[in-house]
Structure 1
Amino acid sequence: MVSPPHALVIPYPAQGHVIPLLEVAHALADRGFAVTFVNTEFNHARVVAAGAGLEDGGRVRFVAVPDGMASGEDRNQLVRLTMLMEEFMAPRVEELVLASGESSGAGGKITCMVTDYNVGSWALQVARRTGIRSAAVWPASAAVMATLLGFDKLIEDKIIDAEDGSALGDKPFQLSPDMPLMHSAHLSWNCIGDHDQQAALFRYLVEGVRAIEQCDFVICNSFQDAEPAAFSLFPNVLPVGPLLTGERNGKAVGHFWKPEDEECMSWLDAQPARSVVYVAFGSFTMFNRRQFEELALGLELSSQAFLWVVRPDILQGGAEHDYPEGFLDRVCGAGGRGKLVTWSPQQRVLAHPSVACFVSHCGWNSTMEGVRNGVPFLAWPYFADQFVNQLYISDIWKVGLKAVADESGIITKEHIAGRVEELMGNADMRERVEAMKKAAHESIQEGGSSHGNFDTFAEGMKKA
């Protein structure tokens, strides 16, 4: 009996990467692959604790490897985490590949590797050393990927420094006329850590680009109609999205926090159609106390019902949530119009008919989920690719409004309430986001461009 192709899938160890890579893993399993999914030990424990998708009848085998950080270290130190992964994860991953196919090995011999682009620099070297096919998954926008693939042009045009990737001036640039107007200070490597960390990350990403050039496929969690200009720049990148991130068969997969599913959804069931403001800032965004209070008061001032996801670690410095005096009693008590949860089944929330708009950090998963469900945005980026995603939302697709800070850097309660009111009454914006929703759904149906691209990718990865 011929063994099925066996894919080793490796996400970058962060919530916004684990979820789409796990969907890629399931989509490969749908197409006849055995799949081994590699989480760090830290994240594997979090997914298990959340009960988020490990009981899948053996479709996907989950393996945990060390990330090199101590048990109490802050995994939000992304540059340190990234640099340690090659030293600690690469040897274990290579062992997995070489040991596969032995009598005790589950799933048979590993025949290919599907890795998050952001771990590509070392993972793809493992694939080459072990002689298996390889693919890279870019889980964010094609526009941001284009800044990496086109870094030579950015250097040539004197937009970034060749040595450390730092911004040379603050003049905005466009990679093509139909793409967002970008700022070099908002390039992904320039948004994290201090200068030395940014320089190290830039060099790591450049090394990754060189590695990516050697792999068999590069796929992207986007769709052709969303970013035609970006895909025209790099036609070898296959759009396969929007991936159904976060849920499969009505069940959350890959989450690090336990969703308050039924309580959250039953609350939405009791609200009128298109009446609820959904507020969620992903797994990394943090606020200072002043901004957190302005957000709370802005939601109250809007006079709209709201569902607000407040992570336990959302305040900077590990501070306890300190809501404005009386806020919980006024807005979230008995008969109030607010609902607070620590995490939510976001795909189900955005698909709910009561949700009218989405106050979002503009992470790409959230952006695609909002688009796929036809929900307009109040776009409030925090770091990295989120600034480019905000530009797509507000300037290119015109399906949302920007949250704009005042001269002190605070997005005020009055601004938040005003933007929410503007979103709730903007019929033209809702029409545009509904058109994007239709295009997104068509792309992933059988016969659609993304569905066909994923089939092409899967068939190519089956080859010896």
Structure 2
Amino acid sequence: MADKQEHQQQPHGHGHHFLVVAYGMQSHVNPGRALAHRLARLSCIDGRPILATLSVPVAAQRRLFPSPTTMVDKEACSDGVISYVPHSDGFDDGASAPKTAEDWARRRRATAASLSAVVARFAAAGTPVTCIVVTMVGPAMVDVARDHGIPFAVYWIQPAAVLAAEYHYFHSYDDDHARAREVSLPGLRRPLPVRDFPSFLVDTTGSVLAKVITEMFRELFESMDRWRPKVLVNTLEELEAGVLAGMRRHLDLVAVGPMLGASADDARIHLFEHDDDVDKKRYMDWLRARPDSSVVYASFGSVTKVTRHQMGEVAAGLRQCGRPYLLVVRRDGLQDDDDESSSSLHVPLGSESCQQGMVVGWCDQLEVLSHPAVGCFVSHCGWNSTIEAMASGGVPIVGVPDSFDQPTNAYLVEEEWGVGIRTGRNSDGVLSGTELARCIELVMGDGARAVAIRERMKGLKTMAQAAADTGGSVETNLRHFVKTFQALEP
């Protein structure tokens, strides 16, 4: 940690205790849990074990441990590697969520008070927290760290290019940039179009959510400028070497990706209803019956909601491409159209299958992407999904970005790394089935571009798996991160 962050002396029985605090979304919880597991499997240079705890909001904790026999309502529970301690964000019932600026302020106050109590309980029990790791959107967590004199680190769960775009926005953005169509960022081969910045930064609708998120990130960058914490970035050094080098002039970055877990025991967890073992066997058996690299896998993540008309176009495009497909239609992932009469296309719901394809409510994405039958991933380009496509199966991507960091990620996939194609939308903002089928063919066909995309993605898979393996760069860089604390001990 930098000199400006105070340090607590370690207890005798163990080394450091990392409290990883994650926002209650699957895209935050899974990489947060993977990081905590990775840290807990290390040891300090003097051989003492490291403790790691994951803290998520109460509502998310209840979804993590839905069985009434678990210890979810107690102060802590464990999976044998890390402990789990919930904190209250003021919306514990899970049915409500912050909507207004006042709601978000209430959430921050509740989170700070609850986490402060968590930190105090650990100290009283003789296992004081020695570092709070914040998954990006966490001003309340920084407040707690500073109030208790505990060093904090930022866990940037998106690519370094998104970090660079946001750093640029909060440090250089002015009226001239607002009128610009593209911005040159260090390490990118081409200027990044402003329209491909994270969506909340370029929002023109007056969305309360966009304003709140922008202000939270502004405060986070102010904290990083002031306190100079370590910033753990879920990316590969080789993948974004230029961007990381450019940003290291401003921030203390450590590349720790791909953060997919250190073993099969760290498999992804789901914060919502998902398929049981019977359903899983059904779609895995279906995949096993398909030729290698023949299946189009389509899924739009855990947050994005798709209109019924849009999902109908997706289904039509998959049928039009003539290839076998596995389509995920999340049970809570459809939203009604403004004009329901506009949708005359069939919208698949629940689990159904036909001779060409299969529709499921959810699936084990890591296992599906790792299956040799899968040859293309139609994705919203969330960073978890993007990095899983690289590291698990080396599967080319057809990008259908919607919001948050997805437009930037889709730009990187197509323009910077050349491992996929980004779809276009019509004047109504709809991806047509014809356009989807065209893009799938560009990735899965026999043309020179398709061949080049597949070869580049295979190279990234090799690179990512080497980084994630025992003794790879993920483990090496995390050990260096832990040793930074060790050097500060009296």
TM-score normalised by structure 1 residue count: 0.87
The 3 A distance-change label for structure 1 pair 215 and 342 is farther
Q: How far, CA to CA, are the matches of 2:201 and 2:336 in structure 1?
A: 22
Aligned residues with identical type, % of pairs = 27
Q: How far, CA to CA, are the matches of 1:124 and 1:179 in structure 2?
A: 34
Alignment match, 1:202: 214
1:355 to 374, 380, 384: 374
**Is it true that 1:403 corresponds to 2:423 in the alignment?**
yes
Aligned positions, number: 449
Give the CA deviation at 1:141.
0.8
2:119 to 75, 97, 104: 97
Judge conservation of contact 2:30–2:268 (CA < 8 Å) in 1: no
The 3 A distance-change label for structure 1 pair 438 and 81 is farther
Greater Cα shift, 29-38 or 278-287: 29-38
Judge conservation of contact 1:242–1:440 (CA < 8 Å) in 2: yes
The 3 A distance-change label for structure 1 pair 147 and 421 is closer
Q: How far, CA to CA, are the matches of 1:309 and 1:247 in structure 2?
A: 26
Alignment match, 1:41: 58
Alignment match, 1:282: 301
Give the CA deviation at 1:323.
9.3
Q: How far, CA to CA, are the matches of 2:26 and 2:234 in structure 1?
A: 15
Judge conservation of contact 1:219–1:240 (CA < 8 Å) in 2: yes
Q: How far, CA to CA, are the matches of 1:345 and 1:447 in structure 2?
A: 27
Alignment match, 2:236: 223
2:148 to 121, 130, 153: 130
Q: How far, CA to CA, are the matches of 2:102 and 2:284 in structure 1?
A: 38
Which residue identity is paired with 2:80?
Answer: G
Judge conservation of contact 1:9–1:113 (CA < 8 Å) in 2: yes
Alignment match, 2:253: 237
Q: What is the correspondence of 1:163-178 to structure 2 with a 5 Å cutoff?
A: 168-169=178-179, 171-176=181-186, 178=188
Judge conservation of contact 1:277–1:306 (CA < 8 Å) in 2: yes
2:414 to 375, 382, 394: 394
Give the CA deviation at 1:37.
1.3
Greater Cα shift, 136-145 or 181-190: 181-190
Judge conservation of contact 2:293–2:375 (CA < 8 Å) in 1: yes
Alignment match, 2:40: 29
Give the CA deviation at 1:394.
0.6
Give the CA deviation at 1:75.
4.0
Structure 1 alignment gaps of length 5 or more: 160-167
Which residue identity is paired with 2:396?
Answer: P
Which residue identity is paired with 1:258?
Answer: H
Judge conservation of contact 2:59–2:91 (CA < 8 Å) in 1: no
Deviation per residue, 1:186-215 (Å, 9 max, x gap): 433336673554334322211111212315
Deviation per residue, 1:268-298 (Å, 9 max, x gap): 2222111111111111111222211111111
Q: How far, CA to CA, are the matches of 2:408 and 2:315 in structure 1?
A: 26
Deviation per residue, 1:394-448 (Å, 9 max, x gap): 1111110111112332211111112212211221110011111112222233554
Judge conservation of contact 1:298–1:417 (CA < 8 Å) in 2: yes
1:249 to 240, 251, 265: 265
- For residue 307 of structure 1, give the secondary structure of its aligned residue in structure 2: strand
- For residue 150 of structure 1, give the secondary structure of its aligned residue in structure 2: helix
Judge conservation of contact 1:405–1:411 (CA < 8 Å) in 2: yes
Q: How far, CA to CA, are the matches of 2:67 and 2:343 in structure 1?
A: 26
Alignment match, 1:165: none
Alignment match, 1:443: 467
Alignment match, 1:296: 315
Alignment match, 1:163: none
Give the CA deviation at 1:130.
1.0
Judge conservation of contact 1:301–1:414 (CA < 8 Å) in 2: yes
Q: How far, CA to CA, are the matches of 2:378 and 2:384 in structure 1?
A: 14
Alignment match, 1:61: 83
Which residue identity is paired with 2:197?
Answer: L
The 3 A distance-change label for structure 1 pair 411 and 344 is same
Q: How far, CA to CA, are the matches of 2:24 and 2:84 in structure 1?
A: 14
The 3 A distance-change label for structure 1 pair 303 and 433 is same
Deviation per residue, 1:293-347 (Å, 9 max, x gap): 1111111111111111111122225999x99677769x944x5222222221111
Alignment match, 1:370: 389
Alignment match, 1:258: 274
Q: How far, CA to CA, are the matches of 1:185 and 1:428 in structure 2?
A: 27
Judge conservation of contact 1:146–1:234 (CA < 8 Å) in 2: yes
**Is it true that 1:11 corresponds to 2:22 in the alignment?**
yes
Judge conservation of contact 1:36–1:60 (CA < 8 Å) in 2: yes
Note the aligned Cα RMSD (angstroms): 3.2
Judge conservation of contact 2:255–2:474 (CA < 8 Å) in 1: yes
- For residue 176 of structure 2, give the secondary structure of its aligned residue in structure 1: coil
Q: How far, CA to CA, are the matches of 2:104 and 2:381 in structure 1?
A: 22
Q: What is the correspondence of 1:147-166 to structure 2 with a 5 Å cutoff?
A: 147-155=165-173, 158-159=176-177
- For residue 136 of structure 1, give the secondary structure of its aligned residue in structure 2: strand
1:459 to 472, 479, 483: 483
- For residue 422 of structure 1, give the secondary structure of its aligned residue in structure 2: helix
Judge conservation of contact 1:379–1:390 (CA < 8 Å) in 2: yes
Give the CA deviation at 1:79.
7.4
Deviation per residue, 1:33-85 (Å, 9 max, x gap): 22221111111122223999x98643222122222237365548597775443
Which residue identity is paired with 1:137?
Answer: Y
Alignment match, 2:328: 309
Give the CA deviation at 1:131.
1.8
- For residue 113 of structure 1, give the secondary structure of its aligned residue in structure 2: strand
Q: How far, CA to CA, are the matches of 2:191 and 2:101 in structure 1?
A: 26
- For residue 27 of structure 2, give the secondary structure of its aligned residue in structure 1: helix
Which residue identity is paired with 1:391?
Answer: Y
Alignment match, 1:162: none
Q: How far, CA to CA, are the matches of 1:152 and 1:313 in structure 2?
A: 35
